Structure 1
Amino acid sequence: MTPVQDLIAAGLSAPVDPRVTAMAAALAAQYGAASRTVLFYGSCLRTAELDGLMLDFYLIVSDYGAAYGKSWLATANRLVPPNVFPFEYKGLVAKYAVLSEADFRSLCGPDASTVSVWARFAQPSRLVWAADHAARSHAAEAIALAPTTLLALTPAQADSDPLDRWRRGFTLTYGAELRAERGGRPESIVDFDPEHYRRLGALIPDAQAPGLDRKWRALRRNGKWLTLVRLAKASLTFAGGIDYLAWKINRHAGTQIAIRPWQRRFPILGALTLLPRLLARGAVR
């Protein structure tokens, strides 16, 4: 393994609340032999607060056919990855995204058409369940691509603080998706564990990808549209998805969005009618 992979693997194996581990095992059990790894990430990992919040997992599977059988869900996951579902276990609630091992590795790398996976796994995460040693190694190798991708796609400047490049990179990724979080969120991600980013940055070669302006224009275009497509797809897989969307926007943007009954009945149309108002008010960007 490379030094970056070693550091990533060490972070992945750091302990978490036992309730998270138990929840991950229960989630993996739902997909049987197709389950390869379960990854825990996001704000609940950073703050270690679980109760009353929604945990974030990625379930990595061997392939979509094995995960779903002959189902439209396999096709949807293959065409517009990932699929997102809700999950509850012993008083905790979560959402989890499903990716195949091949797609996960691809979406952590610099050729990915959106930032959605590598932007999240450039941040610390935990491997909270694995089918075997090979699955664990595959996950670590894929995740090690993510921070390397972020720095390669972040324009270099004469920074006095090496953390500034990480902050700039996360700011770019937030601008490449429709996000409800306030402007300071990318900086707070780095400031939560600055030593991690210092150690990681020192191990990653300083190689900047060519054509960054063109690349980021494409990432922003793809990211905004894919956010809407994934929202529409999630309305078919995620019961109460529009209520979760409202809750997250209210929490991060300080708004008071109330979902009407007809919007729950027609969640795709409801979400699309909300979007222009949210954009106009700056609640999502």
Structure 2
Amino acid sequence: MATLLEQIEAVLAPETERRAAPSVHAVADAARRHWGGGVVAVLFYGSCLRSGEDEGKLVDLYLLAEGYGQVHRWFLPRLLNRLVPPNVYYVETVFEGRTVRAKYALVSLEQLSRLVGPETDNPYFWARFAQPTGILWARDPAVAATVRRALAQAVASMAAAARPLLGAAPTARDLWVEALAQTYATELRSEPAGKGHELFDHAPERWERLGRLVLAALPAPGKGDREACRARWRRRQRQGKLWSVARLVKAAFTFQGGADYLVWKVERHSGVRMELTPWQRRHPVLAAPVLFWKYRRLGAFR
């Protein structure tokens, strides 16, 4: 009989294998080329995957590395990538006469496989990869199998973390909407109250099938389980926000190319174009206050 993770993998198979637009593959290839042979897989997720549209948007990608020594020449980026994963970068490429843009995160496959597990209290990784994710490229079948198992584990971890908050007979919608709401609350970004319902309704059959599998496998909460679970989520919220701050601080030194995206975005909406200095390109977060002041003076903001 198939294990729970094998059953989850079977449900996820169509989305992991779904073909993406050639433009998405083009920008993914551009990101992968930057790191050479150290990258073993490229994943696609987020709003562009859900909508099937990338024109005028920012494609969300994950690059999975064989190891940090294979992708980082210097000690500090390797250390920061391991201690506060992931490192985040920006890339753009020209495809069929237009510019395709992507934000991508870099993490090792070994670390990702560990961070989506139930022993990892912070939901940052298992919350993301419980949502629809495509495998754009994998180096070989063994890597693809490891990625599929990590995605299935993310679903199982997220469900197990949220199940005690619910009553004796929750629906699949109850489970996933609650789980998504709790994970969003652990980050600095704000999401509207109905975001969980929106994500569920985008792929209801997928979430229903996954919900039935995990709810059949997870025990109903016992006396005191709900309050203990709420206490764990309150702790996750406190710790998650600290992790979010740490990632923002790190981005001031590791986020490469983000300033170019900012310039494009402002020009697209206001018509105001600005030429960046090399320092501003290298340190977009540190440069942000000066850029904001210059844009305001030029009339880009009112």
Q: Tell me whether the two structures share a fold, i.e. TM-score over 0.5.
A: yes
Matched residue, 2:47? 43
Q: Distance in 2 between matches of 1:66 and 1:187?
A: 40
Q: Distance in 1 between matches of 2:235 and 2:260?
A: 30
1:37-76 alignment runs, 5 A limit = 37-76=41-80
Matched residue, 1:152? 160
- Greater shift, 28-37 or 120-129, is seen at 28-37
- Of 180, 194, 204 in structure 1, the residue corresponding to residue 190 of structure 2 is 180
Q: Distance in 1 between matches of 2:241 and 2:260?
A: 20
In structure 2, the CA distance between the partners of 1:247 and 1:149, relative to structure 1 (3 Å rule), is farther
8 Å Cα contact 1:59/1:96 also seen in 2: yes
- Of 91, 97, 115 in structure 2, the residue corresponding to residue 107 of structure 1 is 115
Q: Distance in 1 between matches of 2:65 and 2:129?
A: 17
In structure 2, the CA distance between the partners of 1:66 and 1:108, relative to structure 1 (3 Å rule), is same
Matched residue, 2:34? 30
Which structure would you say has the larger Rg?
A: 2
TM-superposed CA distance for 1:62, in Å, is: 0.8
Q: Distance in 2 between matches of 1:172 and 1:196?
A: 20
1:53-202 alignment runs, 5 A limit = 53-90=57-94, 91-154=99-162, 155-158=165-168, 161-202=171-212
TM-superposed CA distance for 1:57, in Å, is: 0.6
Percent identity for Structure 1 against Structure 2:
35
In structure 2, the CA distance between the partners of 1:82 and 1:157, relative to structure 1 (3 Å rule), is same
Matched residue, 1:236? 253
Matched residue, 1:227? 244
8 Å Cα contact 1:119/1:170 also seen in 2: yes
Q: Distance in 2 between matches of 1:160 and 1:149?
A: 17
8 Å Cα contact 1:178/1:224 also seen in 2: yes
In structure 2, the CA distance between the partners of 1:126 and 1:184, relative to structure 1 (3 Å rule), is same
8 Å Cα contact 2:88/2:255 also seen in 1: yes
- What root-mean-square deviation, in Å, do the aligned CA atoms of Structure 1 and Structure 2 show? 2.8
Q: Distance in 2 between matches of 1:56 and 1:106?
A: 22
Q: Which amino acid aligns with 1:180?
A: S
Q: Distance in 2 between matches of 1:176 and 1:244?
A: 26
TM-score computed with the length of structure 1 as normaliser: 0.81
Count residues with an aligned counterpart.
258
User: What secondary structure, in the 3-state scheme, does the structure 2 residue paired with 1:143 have?
Assistant: helix
Q: Which amino acid aligns with 2:59?
A: L
Unaligned runs of 5+ in 2: 266-275, 293-302
- Greater shift, 52-61 or 4-13, is seen at 4-13
In structure 2, the CA distance between the partners of 1:230 and 1:242, relative to structure 1 (3 Å rule), is farther
Q: Which amino acid aligns with 2:180?
A: F
